Structures are given as C-alpha cells and as structure tokens.
Structure 1
C-alpha cells in the first residue's frame, strides 16, 4: 500500500509514522521533512506577518500527502482581546468547511483570553508567549491553515512555524483532526432540590462540549469557567453518550475535578501531560478558571456519533460562563460546524 520501504520496521503491525513520538525514533521511514514559516524572505530579521483588522492570512497551503507534526506561533498585538479575536481555521483535502475553528488562545490550551504558562503533551503555552501544538494532523491531498483577525486593531507581528512530513501515502484508516470552540454564557441553572438531593436522569441540560457524527475518537478538551457567584461549580459529572445511547451513558463521571484528574476540588494551579488547571479563579470560586483533559492514552471511540457533555454544577444547578474547545479525530466529511459567534459574544469577562 505504501511502497516497499515504508512498510519496513512495523511495530506490532503498526507503521512507525503512525506511532510517532519516542517509540518511532529508532526507525527510518521514507518521508521528507518540511516547514512553512514566517521567516523574512529578504534575508532580514522581520520574521513575521502583520495582519490588518478583519484580514485573513493563509499560514500554509500544502498540496500532497503528509502529516503536520508541530505548530508554533507567538503574537504581538495591542488588542486586549486578541486571543479571542484571532480565529484559527484548518481545512483538509479541499473541504469547503473547516475541520478546526477556534479562537487561537483557547485552541492552544487556556481560555478567557489569557496566555498562561503550562506544558502538556499535545499543547503548551511556554513562558506565556510561545504557543505549541503537537497534535498529528494527517492530510491526503491538501492542508490549508489560516488565521483571521476579527478586530479593529492590527496584529503587529505573527510569527509561526508549521512542521510537517511529506509521505508517499497514508493508511486508509487514518482519521482527520478536528477542534471546535463553544460557549454558553451563562448556563441556565435548573431548579432542583438544593444540594445533593437534585437528580439528573437525562443529561439533556448538560453543557455540551462536543457533538459529532461519523466514525472517530474523542481525544480531549479545554474547559474554561468564569464563576459568576461564590460557590463550588465543580460538582458536575461528565456524561459521554456514544452512538446514540440514552441515559445513563456508558461513560459517566463523578465530578468536574475528577474528570480533570484532581480530587476534592482544586487546591492550586497545576499542569501535567494529560490533565491540568493552568488558571485558577478566586478562593470563593468566582472569576476565571481554565483546565484541560486529554484522552491520549484513553481515547473514546465512536462508530456513528458522540455527545460529550458535563453538568454545570451538580444536576446543572449553577449559572456561570462556560466555554470549551473539543479535540477529536474522525472520518470526513464531517457535519458543518455551527457558526462561530461574533467577537463581541466571544469577549472574555477579564
């Protein structure tokens, strides 16, 4: 399928270029390394793009077959809300609708228009300024990545690298990378009996992180919450409905901080390879918090559809400002995304 050489060195029957990472380092593969970047074509040191108000700039338009391995960028802007006003989009194989659409700050792992140092396996905001993605992003014919500055202020400098491999072919089972931002501001508090007496036996009023149709795997999310009143907002359970199943779903959690990999609330900010809380709000749980959970070792597979949801407070008893980015891989074509809200409806509270 891939030619004589590309099949050599399979690990447990899997091509090394699919495995990637440490396991693939000893293996040679017939690929060509390439980079698209903002370097100064004149040989000078103006190694950046400028982006005018409401302008769209194409960062990469790659023809052929390959896998994007790494994206890095850093941004200089006088717009206070640039991390929410710059929209990142990605298109695979000539599709008319994006497979990735998100405010750029949220995509790289922290919400609320905040740049905050953290390091995870797939995403980092190194020293608050260097944004990195290591999600592998395969394409068979074409990859197009663009940013739009939905602001009345220009972006003074946008530096970037996009590192990718050119390959002779892809396994037919390789899925395409997707990411989508959502916001519910505020969530609607349900009037159940107070405290633990409230019952949620449907999941219908949960906050929706992802709804997708097709065949694929859910690989994680960034969740950002702005507490609008004192009190712990983290008693909400994640409920993940696979292939049209009804309540109770086959994947049902026990609390928001449990889903993030912590316990008994969040004592302090932290970050790890697969889970973290880079941004913590006030001691009374008002203000801005942002967290992530990546299903790298435990992806959630679906054959027909998936709904990833989480309660906003126990039995949805809280009214707060929620936003999120979901990350997943799936077959194409995907269902067209709901329209991204305009900048004024994406604006953070801080």
Structure 2
C-alpha cells in the first residue's frame, strides 16, 4: 500500500484510503450544527478507531447568545490523544494551537495553520496527524458563558498499519521572563554581556525521543516602560540537539532572523512558512505574534531536543512570553505540565499602568 502526500505531483495517483469525517452537524437533520459547552465542561468531539491520519481540522465557536466574550480563544483548550495514550500529545488554548496567541484572532494564512474570515474566527489546521489504532480529540471550555462549538475533523482510514512510528505533538506554555534591573544605560541594557550557556533562555520545547521539530508560534507582550529604544527581540535562537552543550549546532543571530524577517520589523506579513501577525505598537510596545514553521527544513533529533531563545540580548528583558511548539516524535513522549489555570492564561491588559507598584505586579505575574 502506498501512503501518498499532498504534493500537486501526487494528485493523479490512485489512492487506497477511505475518506472520513467527524463533524458537529445536527444528527436530526435540522440546523443546530454545533455542540454546546457549558462553563467548565469537557467533551470528546472525535474518537476514531483504526489505522489512519487526520488531514484537516476546521473549528469555530461563539457564545451561545452570539455576543462576544473577551479572550475566548485562551479560555477554551484543545487536547489530542493517539493510540489510547493517557497523557495528551496536544494541549493548548485553541487560539494558540491555531497559530495566534493573546486570546485573539486575526485573518492570516500559513501552510499548516490559518485563521480565516470572519476576523480570523474560522480556525484551520493542515498538519497531518497519524495514528495506529485510535485518535481522540477533546475540547474543554472555561468560558464565562455557554458556547456553541462547530467543527470538521477530516481524516483517512487505511487497511494497513500506518507507515511511521512518529506522532504529532503540540504544547503551549507561558512565562513572564526574568531579566535584569533596568537601571543601567539603554546601550548596556540592550547589548552588553555574553551568553555562553543558554541556561536562562526562554524554552519553547524540551522533549526526549526521536523525531523532528516543525516550528512554533511565539507571542510577546512588551512589558518594558521606557521612551528609549525598546526593541524586544535582540535575543538569539539556540536549539540543542541530543544533549549537546553550548554552543549548539543550531545557533542563530537574533529573534527576527529566526522568524525569517530582519531589521527589528513591525510590518505584518503572512507567508507559507513564516510571518508576523501582530507587529506591536510605537517603539515596539504592546503585543507581538510571529510564527516559523519548519515544513521544508524540519529539525531532526535522535534522543532529545531543547528549543530556546534569549529574551533580549543576554536574557536582559522581562516580558510576557507564550508559545506553541509543534513536532513529531516516537512515543511515549515526555509528559508536559498540565496547562495553566484559566486565570493565568489570560493576557495582561493592552495598556499597562506606569506606576511602580503596578509594574511590579506585572513582573511578579
């Protein structure tokens, strides 16, 4: 049996798979084509048996009353389990999983992930997700009000075992990074010191096993209060493979360089494999979202991988970081921490106060 990919060159080839779908359509034949989630409710929306591969996911949601709810896409969590595992291989707030943080949505398009009109609330994923005997997708709502939840889960079933032992993984994390006291000159704060270990870097992914890392989205809220040059992204990316020490084989030259952009960018752009969805405000203030997907250049590892990036040069900056990493690996995977409680997932206010007491609260968040 031949398992075909998605290249245009392969479209004419005969396929042996059976095309299937789980969706939220109204089983009575009516038009109530959604599941209802009450606050705090968790439901399995898809439970597939057999050998197969999920090929596409579409989801959208709204309060049952059709009103808006702030930060809804940070309050709803998506989890995925392969082959009857108990520890999820995917766990993230739903907006972050589909490529954008801060609890908001916005129209953008990449090869594996997209947010489509209206206002980015149509969520699409094209990462292939293989399984040997079972795939289960679970949604948990911690929204303030009941929500209606629409979805398609498109997949293929095969009459032979899947042709890989690697499984899809995605995990979200958040951290207000700990930098240094901002009581030196701006030049020293922005450029001084040498990082010769990578130990204090922000960690996007750390896992054991064999597989390949296929990218991330990174969301930053600039928490530095200054009228001086306030570029948040002077930090280098450092990816440590199979336990190697500093300097790692994959050592980059700056945050914007890892995301395939340049010169402290703020212009928003979406390309198949990299983009800036939010560019920040004046002097790089406010909230930023960027993505880099290693579809053409996956980063392989045989035993372990640790994907990190400096938060400012030499880790001088204290900013609000969150990220979702995507990768394929053998099972069992390294168990990731439980997702933060909903109160700790919510973004900080867009406009932060400037008094010292409130600044301290932000840094101790």
Shorter-chain TM-score above 0.5: yes
Shift in Å at residue 174 of structure 1?
3.9
User: Which residue number in structure 2 is paired with residue 97 of structure 1?
Assistant: 87
Structure 2 contact 256–265 (Cα < 8 Å) conserved: yes
Runs of 4 or more, structure 1, over 6 Å off, are none
Q: Please, which of 104, 115, 120 is the counterpart of residue 105 of structure 2?
A: 115
1:175 lines up with 2:169 in the alignment:
no
User: Which residue number in structure 1 is paired with residue 252 of structure 2?
Assistant: 253
Segments of structure 1 that go 5 or more residues without pairing to the other structure are 1-5, 8-14
Q: Please, which of 153, 165, 171 is the counterpart of residue 156 of structure 2?
A: 165
SS of corresponding position for 1:344: helix
Q: Please, which of 102, 118, 132 is the counterpart of residue 140 of structure 1?
A: 132
1:318 lines up with 2:317 in the alignment:
yes
1:23 lines up with 2:9 in the alignment:
yes
User: Which residue number in structure 2 is paired with residue 213 of structure 1?
Assistant: 208
Q: 1:120 to 1:70 in 2, by over 3 A?
A: same
1:58 lines up with 2:39 in the alignment:
no
Give the CA RMSD over aligned residues: 1.4
Structure 1 contact 87–147 (Cα < 8 Å) conserved: yes
Shift in Å at residue 320 of structure 1?
0.4
Structure 2 contact 100–219 (Cα < 8 Å) conserved: yes
User: Which residue number in structure 2 is paired with residue 11 of structure 1?
Assistant: none
The 10-residue stretch of structure 1 (109-118 or 281-290) with the greater mean CA deviation from structure 2: 281-290
Structure 1 contact 211–308 (Cα < 8 Å) conserved: yes
Q: Please, which of 15, 38, 62 is the counterpart of residue 76 of structure 1?
A: 62
| Pairing of 1:295-314 with structure 2 (within 5 A) | 295-314=294-313
Shift in Å at residue 129 of structure 1?
1.6
In 2, the alpha carbon distance for the partners of 1:320 and 1:194 equals 14
In 1, the alpha carbon distance for the partners of 2:96 and 2:319 equals 18
**TM-score under structure 1 normalisation?**
0.93
In 2, the alpha carbon distance for the partners of 1:68 and 1:171 equals 12
In 1, the alpha carbon distance for the partners of 2:115 and 2:126 equals 12
User: Which residue number in structure 2 is paired with residue 151 of structure 1?
Assistant: 143
SS of corresponding position for 1:23: helix
**TM-score under structure 2 normalisation?**
0.89
In 1, the alpha carbon distance for the partners of 2:240 and 2:276 equals 25
In 2, the alpha carbon distance for the partners of 1:194 and 1:57 equals 48
In 2, the alpha carbon distance for the partners of 1:24 and 1:261 equals 29
Shift in Å at residue 281 of structure 1?
1.2
In 2, the alpha carbon distance for the partners of 1:52 and 1:83 equals 15
In 2, the alpha carbon distance for the partners of 1:254 and 1:109 equals 24
Shift in Å at residue 131 of structure 1?
0.4
Shift in Å at residue 171 of structure 1?
4.5
Report the count of equivalent residues.
334
In 1, the alpha carbon distance for the partners of 2:190 and 2:37 equals 50
Shift in Å at residue 90 of structure 1?
0.1
Shift in Å at residue 79 of structure 1?
2.9
- 1:159-205 per-position Cα deviation (integer Å, ceiling 9, x unaligned): 10000000122445341000000100x20004695332310000000
In 2, the alpha carbon distance for the partners of 1:195 and 1:100 equals 36
